[in-house]
Amino acid sequence: MEPFDAVRLPVWFAGGRAYEAFPREARPFGGRLLLAGGRRALKAGRGRLEAAIQGRMALAETRTLEGCCSMAEAEALADAARGCGAELLCGMGGGRALDTVKAAGDLAGLPVFTFPTIAATCAAVTALSVMHGEDGAFSALYPLKRPPVAAFIDTAVLAAAPARYLRAGLGDSLGKGVEPAFSSRGRALRHSDALALSMAGGLIGEVERQGPEALRQAEEGRAGEALTDMALLNIVSVGCVSLLIREEYNCALAHSLSYTLEGLPQLKGSLHGELVAWGAAVQLQMDGQGEEALRVLRLLRALGIPASLAAMGADLGEEAVSRAIRAAAFQSDMATVPYPVSPEMILAAAQAVERAAGEV
């Protein structure tokens, strides 16, 4: 018997009243929920969710998540869900909180619903959790059996969040705009792969077209059309690329660099999407696409995203930094690439991007 392809895409609701759709969508799975999220996220969205479920569902427990997504944190949350008799899990917050809740749902065998309060990543819709160690450094990618059942994207909540998170999300989208085409080059593509590549190919152009205006609206706290479109691009479009394409083609050098660099003390204040955006320029430079690398660097300047490691507080000349860059060659996301990539190739491309960043 020939194997078959299976694609699961999430349902999403977006707008200033998105949470109101939750009871109808969730009720078939049960009426008792556990809500978990970051402290600021719960402050931003819990009241809206409670209003949406009042008299219709029971909030069994609310748990505040601290720190990074780790297996220990996910296991503790799964135990809490079992302990309070929750029939479904709700995650509220950014990527780390949502990844924790998704992993907990996978461990506990419970359906997961997400409520992103920032538009910095696609975690609200993907079937993957990024796990970290106790020191906060990247540990492993944890594939899930399925994506969340549905995501509820309240644009008023997103507009009230600091604009830096939307900006970082745009940077993450730039990475997804270049990585799948690189990883899948020369490979036989399935229908879902080709569909994902078609979506990914339009991400950079959309960020160029609406990104600056979306950030202006974010600075004003206004959920205008541009902010809404770019939030959905960061969360849904990028997430659908990840769900449609085979995992070995999903990411490449941009994300590999973010994982090896994010544990450095010098870059502790940098967001995931900022590192991915810089890594996208490095990948293009390494791949001989110097003009496209410059295009990305110019776009980073226009969006206010740091265009160099120096701007993020790290010196490429430091041994720890250069060692982390070279280590990207051995990340799992670099297992499927169109030609052998050495640590020296990555370091040389990073040095070229650092020089170019000072000139754009």
User: Max alpha carbon distance in the chain (Å)?
Assistant: 61
Same fold, 11-129+140-160 and 163-357: no
Task: State residue 237's pLDDT score.
Answer: 97
Edge-to-edge order in the sheet of strand 11-15: 11-15, 150-154, 112-116, 88-93, 32-37, 58-64
pLDDT tier at 155 (50, 70, 90 boundaries)?
very high
Alpha-carbon dihedral sign for residues 16, 20, 25, 29: positive
Task: State residue 358's pLDDT score.
Answer: 87
At the top level of CATH, which class does the domain 11-129+140-160 belong to?
Answer: alpha beta
Output 242 or 139, whichever has higher pLDDT.
242
Give percent of the chain with pLDDT exceeding 70.
Answer: 99
pLDDT tier at 10 (50, 70, 90 boundaries)?
confident
Per the CB < 8 A criterion, the answer to whether 306 and 312 are in contact is: yes
Task: State residue 6's pLDDT score.
Answer: 81
Task: State residue 317's pLDDT score.
Answer: 93
Residue pLDDT, tens place only, 316-334: 999 999 999 999 999 999 9
| Strand, helix or coil for residue 286 | helix
Task: State residue 140's pLDDT score.
Answer: 86
Measured CA distances, 78 to 59, 71, 359 (Å): 16, 10, 50
Task: State residue 2's pLDDT score.
Answer: 58
Domain boundaries, the chain: 11-129+140-160, 163-357
Supply the DSSP string of 112-152, one letter for each residue.
Answer: EEEEESS-S-STTT-SEEEEE-TTS-EEEEEE-SS--SEEE
Statement: residue 1 has pLDDT above 60: no
pLDDT tier at 135 (50, 70, 90 boundaries)?
confident
Strands (E), the chain: 11-15, 32-37, 58-64, 88-93, 112-116, 128-132, 138-143, 150-154
Task: State residue 7's pLDDT score.
Answer: 85
Residue pLDDT, tens place only, 63-119: 999 878 899 999 999 999 999 999 999 999 999 999 999 999 999 999 999 999 999
Task: State residue 51's pLDDT score.
Answer: 97
Q: What are phi and psi of 64, to 5 degrees?
A: -90, 125
Statement: residue 173 has pLDDT above 90: yes
Mean pLDDT score of the chain, rounded to an integer?
95
Task: State residue 133's pLDDT score.
Answer: 85
* Superfamily (CATH H level) for 163-357: Dehydroquinate synthase-like - alpha domain (1.20.1090.10)
Alpha-carbon dihedral sign for residues 325, 329, 330, 333: positive
Residue pLDDT, tens place only, 207-255: 999 999 999 999 999 999 999 999 999 999 999 999 999 999 999 999 9
pLDDT (average), residues 300-324:
96
